[in-house]
């Protein structure tokens, strides 16, 4: 068992991680936003595809889909079975095909082909939860007022001792209280990148982690071996 340590300070830790992730591969949604110039429609749809799917699979499926359907109008016109084939093998591809098609139809019908820019409107789209809505607002709309919490952010914020929560929704609420506002928009990028490369769900690589000396590692049962 690691010795009991106090929670990591939020702002200095995020600053450290910001430097450390500079050389690491970006998460899929950021890559898509970079490649497709931060287009809100692409960010929204690829975030919907990304749920419980590995990043390389999300990236490849999104790019295949956008090559055929680069706009809400084009996506709304595709059949569900065509969308299924384009996005396979993302997990739950059948449900996701239905959701992205219906979302595209709503964007065309009710929003003039644009992605809405409020949480309320985004949450009314089929298959869009708080994670997708927050990430769309942050990455595509450049919002500084949202924190996007996925499984990486939820797990690592608890390991750091920033929050003591059971669900990503609880973590999001708690982080608004403990994290300085200037970091809200970047918490996701920092912790997701760190979670994919170092602070992994199982066997985190504590031995090669820059936070090794101070991290309280709350809930970490086994650490990964460092070669
Ligand atoms: S890898 Fe280990 S030391 Fe590094 S942040 Fe995760 S739990 Fe803390």
Section 128-154 average pLDDT: 95
Reported as a single tens digit per residue, the pLDDT across 67-109 is: 999 999 999 999 999 999 999 999 999 999 999 999 999 999 9
Catalytic residue list: 131, 150
Mean pLDDT of 15-28: 94
The mean pLDDT of 194-213, rounded to a whole number, is 96
Mutate to test the pocket of ligand 1, among 7, 14, 198 (most ligand atoms within 8 A of CB): 198
pLDDT tops 80 at residue 8: yes
pLDDT band for position 112 (cuts 50, 70, 90) = very high
Give Rg (Cα) of the chain. Answer: 18
**C-alpha 199 to ligand 1 mean position (Å):** 5
Ligand 1 pocket at CB < 6 A: 159, 198-199, 204-206, 209, 211-212, 215, 217, 220
> For residue 3, is pLDDT > 70?
no
Is the Cβ–Cβ distance between 49 and 90 less than 8 Å?
yes
Helices 168-178 and 184-197, interaxial angle, to 10°? 130
Q: What is the pTM of this model?
A: 0.92
Tell me the CA–centroid distance for residue 145 and ligand 1, in Å. Answer: 27
Residues 6+ apart with CB under 8 A from 23: none
Cα–Cα distance for residue pair 56/41, rounded to 1 Å: 19
If phi over 0 gives left and psi between -120 and 50 gives alpha, with beta otherwise, what is residue 98? Answer: alpha
**In a 10 Å sphere around its CB, with 0-12 CB exposed, 13-18 middle and 19+ buried, how is residue 104 labelled?**
buried
């Amino acid at each position: 068992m690691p010795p009991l340590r106090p929670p990591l300070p939020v702002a200095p830790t995020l600053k450290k991680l910001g430097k450390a992730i500079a050389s690491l591969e970006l998460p899929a949604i950021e890559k898509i936003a970079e490649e497709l110039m931060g287009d809100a429609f692409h960010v929204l749809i690829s975030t919907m595809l990304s749920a419980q799917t590995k990043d390389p699979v999300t990236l490849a499926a999104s790019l295949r889909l956008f090559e055929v359907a680069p706009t809400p109008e084009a996506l709304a016109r595709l059949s569900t079975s065509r969308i299924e084939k384009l996005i396979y093998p993302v997990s739950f591809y059948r449900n996701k095909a239905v959701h992205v098609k219906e979302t595209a139809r709503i964007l065309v019908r009710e929003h003039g082909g644009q992605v809405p820019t409020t949480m309320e409107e985004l949450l009314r789209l089929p298959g869009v939860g708080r994670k997708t809505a927050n990430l769309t607002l942050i990455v595509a709309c450049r919002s500084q007022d949202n924190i996007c919490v996925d499984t990486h952010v939820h797990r690592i914020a608890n390991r750091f001792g920033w929050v003591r929560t059971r669900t990503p929704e609880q973590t999001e609420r708690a982080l608004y209280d403990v994290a300085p506002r200037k970091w809200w928009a970047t918490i996701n990028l920092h912790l997701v990148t760190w979670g994919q490369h170092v602070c992994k769900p199982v066997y985190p690589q504590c031995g090669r982690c820059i936070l090794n000396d101070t991290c309280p590692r709350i809930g970490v049962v086994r650490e990964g071996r460092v070669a």
